[in-house]
Amino acid sequence: MTAPAPDPTVRPYDPDDDGDALWAAKRAFETGLGAAGGDGKETTYRGKLTDEYRDRWLDWVERCVTDDPGCVVVADGEPGGGKETVADAPRLAGYAFLLPERLAFVWDAAVLNELWVAPPARGAGLADDLFEAVLAHARGQALPLDRLLLDVDAENGRARAFYERHGFTGWGELVARDLRGGPGQSVTVATRPPIVPNTSGYTTPARRMPVAKTGPVPSASKRTRSIRTRTR
């Protein structure tokens, strides 16, 4: 009888040892988001994942963890086969990426930029472990608002249900446009609705952005904190 695999260990990202494995996970995250959005979105997402993008992204992640050690955490494990693995690289079962404290004023909040778990590792509590790790880290950042914001694709029902379980509610929406188009050209509305339970037990979207508090509700006279994220 084969012994069960040990539970993945959540730990801080090490740029010296984990770069190839993190990039493999990042590719899986991005291509998964693209595939969920149809052919056009999938082509766009795959097209940006060039060697130059890889090098710049990994350099940026390294700068982030240098500025704020522990803002990126990874889970060791076997994510399974597939085209997104890197030969001879340690494999990751998941990762979470909280932007460093110095970027808090972009959204007046902390920003959980990405959270991903490999499909074979889903449903076993690893996403909760990754989330709790970055939530604890965010609570140690000096932030304008005491909230955790996240940007979840409307079609990603699994992620939306996960964040509903962690206490997220709707707060705002995102809009976007093509930088190269003129007024009225190539404009895209990109809403990120929260999870609203319905009587069937499934979830339905509303045009708001999910948000959760990271601690007790402060009085009006006290400074507050916040946080934001993109997930798969």
Q: Residue 199 above 50 pLDDT?
A: no
Q: What is the pLDDT of residue 226?
A: 37
Residue 176 vs residue 116, higher pLDDT? 116
Residue 224 vs residue 32, higher pLDDT? 32
Q: Residue 4 above 60 pLDDT?
A: no
216 CB-near residues (< 8 Å, 6+ apart): none
DSSP string, the chain: -PPPPPPPPEEE--HHHHHHHHHHHHHHHHHHHHHHT-HHHHHHHHHH--HHHHHHHHHHHHHHHHHSTTSEEEEES----STT--TTSPPEEEEEEEPPGGGGGGTTSEEEEEEEE-GGGTTTTHHHHHHHHHHHHHHTS--SSSEEE-B--TT-HHHHHHHHHTT-EE-----EE-TTS-TTSSEE------EEE-TTSSEEE-SS-EEEESSSPPPTTS------EEE-
Tens of pLDDT, residues 142-176 = 999 988 888 887 777 888 889 889 888 777 777 77
- Determine the Cα–Cα distance for residues 11 and 137; give it in Å rounded to an integer: 12
Fold of 10-231: Aminopeptidase (3.40.630)
Which of these ranges, 29-33, 91-95, 148-152, 208-212, has the smallest mean pLDDT?
Answer: 208-212
CA dihedral 167, 138, 10, 28 (to 10 degrees): 80
> What mean pLDDT do residues 111-131 have?
93
Q: Residue 201 above 50 pLDDT?
A: no
pLDDT band, residue 8 (cuts 50/70/90) = confident
Domain residue spans in the chain?
10-231
Residue 3 vs residue 200, higher pLDDT? 3
Q: Residue 180 above 70 pLDDT?
A: yes
Residue 232 vs residue 132, higher pLDDT? 132
pLDDT band, residue 211 (cuts 50/70/90) = low
Tens of pLDDT, residues 16-70 = 999 999 999 999 999 888 776 666 677 777 889 999 999 999 999 999 999 999 9
Task: Name the residue among 1, 12, 6 with its Cα closest to residue 121.
Answer: 6
Q: What is the pLDDT of residue 42?
A: 72
> What mean pLDDT do residues 96-105 have?
95
